[in-house]
Structure 1
Amino acid sequence: MKHRILITGASGFVGTALLRLLEQEHSECEVFAFGHGNGHLNPIDLMDRDAVDAAVHKVRPTALVHLAAVAAPADARNAPRHAWDVNVTGTMNLAESVMRHAPEARFVYVGSSEAYGASFQSVAGPVTETVPLRPVTVYGVTKAAADLMIGQMAYDGLRAVRCRPFNHTGPGQSDAYVIPAFARQVAEIAAGKNEPVIHVGNLEVERDFLDVRDVVRAYAGAAMLNPNADPDCVYNIASGQPLKIRHILDMLIAQSGIDIEVRVDPEKLRPNDIPFASGDASKARDWLKWKPLVPFEQTIADVFGYWQRVCKAR
């Protein structure tokens, strides 16, 4: 049977990358893209249960990739009630509709490594999917709550796959995130638009970064899993090779070829910052046949090149 894949959050950074991948490598699939801000997509409000129900009933997908969320941690921190509504209640509305109208569909829930939170500090090395979810941020707790909810619904019959991606970036990501924020500043300096000073937060933390093009390959693979797979399917999507934020900034400055002063801005320091976060993706390698392929140096060059083009166009 031809795959019918419904994607929520299709207008976002990751959704756009997933649509591109499916078009290029899985043209045999019929894709239904739901999102906002693009005339080619179907708008949907996850808080509107009737609208969600109607959409799922109409599409009757064989798989669904749920990307729609309040995804920027700062946005969740500034509007926690909205983050809970979208990330938890919206996810519940969608999952319930799938169980009613497309019970055979694979439901790919895209969670977050931020759900692990304080567990990173009590485990030596990369975490596995079995460590406790101990979130310390608003964003992390909403993603953990939805993750656990989908896991429970799997035992009621939802054919769920839960993905816990670690940090990922790529060309086109908003500068609300650390790497594009650095890249934008460095590109503006290189273009002569700003003085050679970059303002940063905590550079000593270590994070497990991936290229978005690798991450969406994992989601596509999860969507095409055998629908009779174990109901407790949960996968870290990670490199297992954490990098200091300082090292990433140094890579971007090296791309510019100029001398840039680095200044710490207290306003950019995050509360509850976890010093070290890395994931063990052995399960994804074994069951999804997935591993990261894009060298991080290529990711950094592509992100910097994107912001150079943005600065030139302004």
Structure 2
Amino acid sequence: MDRLLPPSNQEEYPNPLDTERDQYAELSSSNGHPTRRRNLYLAAFGANLASVASGCAMAWSSPSIPKLKDQGLIDDNQGSWLTSLLAVGASIGPFLAYRLVDRIGRRTTIILNMLVIIISWALLDIAPVLAPHIPSEFKLDTLNIMYIARFLSGIGVGCSFMVTPLYIAEISDTLVRSALCSSMQLFLIVGFLVEYTVGPYYSSTVLNGVSLVPPILCVLVFACVLPDSPLFLLQQGNGEGAFRALQWLRQQHDVYGEIGSSQKSLEESRSLEVVSWVGLLTTPFHIKCLSYGLILIFFQQFSGVPSWLLLFGLR
């Protein structure tokens, strides 16, 4: 409660403008040279390849379902299931990511997430070839395999929406964090654009192959180049790994100040009283905040825009 009381001594609380200028000066220069963010931008781009992959998965139904209907492979009801199963999987994905990010790390979670999306695209592509070789007792025909693929795609999309902005926020410095976190929406639309431009004019095999490129690139970039979040490494007690990761991201050797600040924030968060989910949901302040968020999400999702994006090309 002491933190909520007004300061009794103004000198204990520096001027916010002075603090902001000091942070800017600290982040904008290193030994008299401008801060270089090439590696940071590369890491944000690599993470946002997951956003492109998610956009491709979400928009696949727009050009593909009309083709499947024209070929007599599905009817309207089955087309609706192929579209909506992605949303079912996406409702599960964030909960899986929530359990994974603090156990195996942000980097590994993104890699596993992209592998799930890669498997889903592979199943969509080989479903007609794979179905005849599956024993009949499993009742997995081409359509059921496509259902499974779309459900897996949804899980991947849901995971991406949780872990991608988390990773970008934790690797970014304060001056560019907002811009880099908001870039997820831009890359998501790039995925939509890929499906809208390739799907109507090329075969499903070509579209599925093109859609495989972003998740494969994302896996390669994370596996070969990008580090895990320095904050996660500190949480795991891997101070040396966090130091090396931050050196690479900031492209400078002297990152002791930022490491110390992150370590201090981590220790302060650990010292705070742990509140259960029940406690959060029974506190009036948290109920009010949660209600505002749910109302905003409700109007966003029920405005019709998500359905329009997923079904843009249907006729």
**Larger helix proportion, structure 1 or 2?**
2
Same fold (TM over 0.5): no
Higher Cα radius of gyration: 2
Name the structure where strand makes up a greater proportion of residues.
1
Which TM-score band applies after superposition, normalised by the shorter structure?
under 0.3
Where relative contact order (Cα < 8 A, 6+ residues apart) is larger, the structure is 2
